[in-house]
């Protein structure tokens, strides 16, 4: 397989480019429901990319990503006036900054632990945020809060229009993907990869790994806050379930399903997970059993993990391996 100068297969670059082109052209053929569905999936793809930075790149399994997502979403509603359209110029940075600030606090404390303790601490912080929203008047309790007037940018950008929101979401997804791709090629990204492979060796070579991990945690929280902002604007309603632990679990499943260690795996996983949900919920296909869609989705994910250990992006490599045999000596293989 031909490789680029940076070592990434040209086929992977082409695949990503075709995905973004297809998403850009989708509104020409998709109806209102399709545009709304793909907009929602792209938002969760942004959220999946934020978690990929921690899990797939740095090796930090965070189980509290939904907290940053929910904070970004709630900030939209709480900071917006009820009777006037807020400006996108200040509202978006404010929502992202609040999510990043909470991520910085959580990271500063949780990164002092490791392994399963790190997972449990991040989950605990996420549940704290959940119960603050759920049990206090701040977040409207279980009823949630409505966003009555959506943000605008002057007279030419109104996020209340579905096609405008679709374009903004597509642009945000592309910007996040490009930003993370450049970040991972930088010295900072190489340091994160080194931490994932062997943190003790990194420390032995003189690297203080804690600041790198904390910076990655804050960046991840900021991106999750961006996803929360987009979700609140799209849905016009927020509730405590956005911060719940099963939301964090769903995003973790997305990146595992797509393939850890690849940014494109987060994209593929988000779309695969959302489309599988829609498939098993379809009463036209499953009839009465569609109400038990969780069972079908769960069995499919179990089978996918068992049969595709490298995720969906690793399937072509698996087929080549089975058809052509082992990789020839000297031939470079893509990192799974």
pLDDT of residue 137: 82
In this structure, is residue 108 part of a structural domain?
yes
Would 299 be classed as within a structural domain?
A: no
**How far is C-alpha 151 from the chain's CA centre?**
23
| Domain total in the chain | 1
Residue 104: what pLDDT? 95
pLDDT of residue 98: 96
How much is the pLDDT for 9?
A: 64
C-beta separation of 86 from 151 below 8 A: yes
Residue 2's pLDDT is 38
Q: Are 42 and 254 in contact (CB under 8 A)?
A: no
| pLDDT at residue number 90 | 93
* Domain residue limits at 182: 37-257
What's the confidence (pLDDT) of residue 325? 64
Which residue from 42, 53, 50 is spatially nearest to 20, judged by alpha carbons?
42
- Is 17 part of a structural domain of the chain? no
Which pLDDT score, from 0 to 100, does residue 155 have? 74
In a domain? residue 60 = yes
Cα separation, 131 vs 284, whole angstroms: 38
Residue 4 is predicted with a pLDDT of 40
Q: What is the mean pLDDT of each run of 10 residues along the chain (336 residues)?
A: 47 88 92 93 96 92 93 93 87 95 95 90 93 86 86 83 93 96 93 90 86 95 96 92 90 92 91 92 83 88 86 78 59 42
What's residue 8's pLDDT?
54
| pTM to 2 decimal places | 0.90
């Amino acid at each position: 397989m031909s490789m680029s100068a940076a070592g990434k297969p040209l086929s992977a670059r082409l695949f990503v480019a075709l995905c973004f082109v297809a998403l850009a052209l989708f509104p020409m053929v998709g109806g209102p429901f399709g545009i709304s569905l793909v907009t929602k999936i792209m938002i969760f793809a942004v959220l999946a990319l934020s978690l990929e930075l921690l899990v797939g790149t740095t090796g930090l399994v965070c189980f509290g990503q939904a907290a940053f997502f929910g904070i970004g979403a709630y900030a939209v509603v709480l900071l917006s006036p009820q009777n006037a359209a807020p400006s996108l110029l200040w509202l978006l940075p404010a929502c992202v900054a609040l999510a990043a600030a909470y991520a910085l606090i959580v990271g500063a404390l949780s990164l002092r632990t490791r392994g399963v303790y790190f997972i449990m601490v991040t989950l605990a912080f996420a549940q704290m945020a959940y119960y603050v929203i759920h049990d206090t008047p701040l977040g409207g309790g279980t009823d949630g809060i409505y966003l009555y007037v959506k943000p605008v940018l002057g007279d030419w950008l109104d996020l209340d229009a579905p096609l405008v929101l679709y374009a903004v979401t597509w642009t945000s997804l592309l910007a996040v993907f490009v930003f993370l791709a450049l970040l991972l090629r930088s010295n900072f990204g190489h340091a994160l990869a080194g931490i994932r492979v062997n943190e003790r060796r990194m420390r032995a070579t003189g690297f203080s790994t804690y600041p790198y991990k904390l910076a990655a945690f804050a960046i991840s929280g900021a991106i999750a806050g961006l996803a929360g902002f987009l979700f609140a604007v799209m849905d016009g309603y927020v509730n405590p379930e956005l911060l719940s632990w099963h939301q964090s679990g769903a995003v973790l499943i997305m990146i595992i399903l797509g393939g850890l260690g690849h940014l494109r795996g987060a994209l593929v996983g988000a779309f695969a997970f959302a489309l599988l949900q829609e498939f098993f919920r379809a009463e036209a296909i499953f009839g009465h059993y569609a109400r038990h869609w969780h069972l079908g989705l769960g069995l499919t994910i179990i089978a996918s993990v068992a049969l595709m250990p490298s995720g969906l992006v690793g399937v072509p490599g698996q087929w080549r391996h089975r058809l052509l045999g082992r990789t020839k000596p000297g031939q470079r293989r893509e990192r799974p």
